[in-house]
Structure 1
């Protein structure tokens, strides 16, 4: 038997924080790729510390629903899972290349735990960002005449924070689908506050590389970009800012296709997922676009 465990941050303050995790778990559960699909959270129940005890399967694939490699993927999650012999050097990562490592957990030593890198640094996330642009514009062929901004938090405390943003912006730029592609940040240059300054395109899709909609994606970024003076009053999509139409997509992690990235991570670690990827892509492609 094989199990999938999706671990995420969660929040005591934002009840919607865990919604994407549960939604992606449900999608994967429905396609039957695993005998069990479980979720665990740092700030909610069920906790990461207890989740392996809820699993009956002897092969467990743990996929962190996080954007970048860093404190949570390298310290918090391995500690809470009690991974025996964990050493971050086992990943031999440059901040983008963490794949998986196979270990046991101290209190469930009979299980083999395949601990995977975060979803945010996987190449399949590029497709999710593009899908997010399609969803918010209501156009499955969006690109020509549009600019695309991939937005991250950014922080001087963790250099890996910006790497995932730049990685996906570069990959999308290489697709030559959008007229312009720019990586922007909340807490470092170039800043999302000045989004209109970085594009010549009249239409700009803005996709935040965050797992869930919360304080940053629902309040900070819309106000910083000038979509609204007060997030509580809402804003138009698209909204007019300095002569540009801003199509603000909200957190990329709420896109249904994220379930594909979770499956890709598990498959890379050796999980037998059969035709689950094709089924997930087919089901999430049927998700209504804006305006449908």
Structure 2
């Protein structure tokens, strides 16, 4: 019985250690999500600045687009899916890859996977991808990863101009929910930046086409930064949810172990009392004070 009690107490100690680790992971995830959300304002400010520059260039010219593109239904899709680098995120990566699998022409699409966990899951699901890169492990790494994706995007578009490049990423919602978002990066939509005539038009020192192409590439890079930061925030929100569920499970396990330990300890006490009672009981025929002479 004592051996069984020691085993239960050992399991309880392990559960307490696991609960401490889960709490630390949840705290780290919360801090990383807050940092990612705080950095979004700066990224969106840069996007607004670049967008305003595009609008001014368009207002100064009669340019209607950087190039004539074939109708969207004829464009070969390139899908960039932002998954996670680390685990403990529940069904986060599964939902993103399900979006890829439900894409109307996913059988002919070129797939770029960001995140080691996503690439491993894609292999498990039989999804073939042409390019992969590790996901940012902290908010400060987002710009570097965005640069690598941007290089791959424009290398692909230069080699295959008739491509529609889409970004697929997660977005954290209220109530610990995660939504999947898709946005088209290429062909670039200049129409959203058209503005009315200005009293003072900008002085252009570069050819309009070259300037618009450079601004469009910069804007796509900023869009990638925003998508990566949103995905990083959603990943950590999903990790917090998973850690909360794990903490609840450990709590229930500790309650069960505590009940079991009490039962075992009570059984040991009962057994000891019974043994003491039996040992102290008088032996029949040997009562004290009996005269046998």
TM-score with structure 2 length normalisation? 0.29
Q: Considering fraction of residues, name the structure with more helix.
A: 2
Q: Considering fraction of residues, name the structure with more strand.
A: 1
Larger radius of gyration: 2
Kindly indicate whether structure 1 or structure 2 has the higher relative contact order, using CA contacts under 8 Å at least 6 residues apart.
Answer: 2
